[in-house]
């Protein structure tokens, strides 16, 4: 699969809505960060121009290693929240 890097827009109204929804539903705002797994989002951006994406997932430390701990509290990626 070939996909471009995902260019996030930290000031997107869509991302603000995602953050607001987290606050309303869960009582906290997600951390907005850029992480390695946004390549998949680039695939969708390439095939659906203009799509807005929030890539949401758990905080992963030392991915793909035998010492990969994780947290069930999601962090939302930038280019996402």
Cite the beta strand spans of 1-81 per DSSP E. Answer: 32-33, 56-60, 70-77
What is the predicted pLDDT for the residue at 71?
65
* pTM (2 d.p.): 0.62
User: Angle at the Cα of 65 (from 63 to 67), degrees rounded to 5?
Assistant: 100
What is the predicted pLDDT for the residue at 81?
40
Question: Where do the domains of the chain lie?
Answer: 13-77
Residue 79 confidence (pLDDT) above 50: no
Contact status, residue 6 vs residue 45, Cβ threshold 8 Å: yes
What is the predicted pLDDT for the residue at 20?
95
In the beta sheet, which residues pair with residue 81?
Answer: none
* pLDDT, tens digit, 9 for 90 and up, residues 8-65: 777 889 989 999 999 999 999 988 876 655 677 778 888 888 888 887 877 777 777 7
Higher per-residue confidence, 21 vs 80: 21
């Amino acid at each position: 699969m070939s996909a471009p890097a995902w260019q996030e827009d930290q000031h997107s109204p869509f991302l603000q809505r995602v953050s607001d929804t987290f606050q309303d539903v869960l009582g906290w705002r997600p951390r907005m960060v850029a992480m390695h797994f946004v390549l998949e989002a680039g695939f969708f951006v390439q095939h659906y121009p203009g799509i807005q994406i929030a890539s949401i997932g758990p905080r992963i430390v030392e991915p793909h290693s035998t010492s990969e701990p994780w947290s069930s509290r999601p962090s939302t990626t930038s280019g996402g929240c």
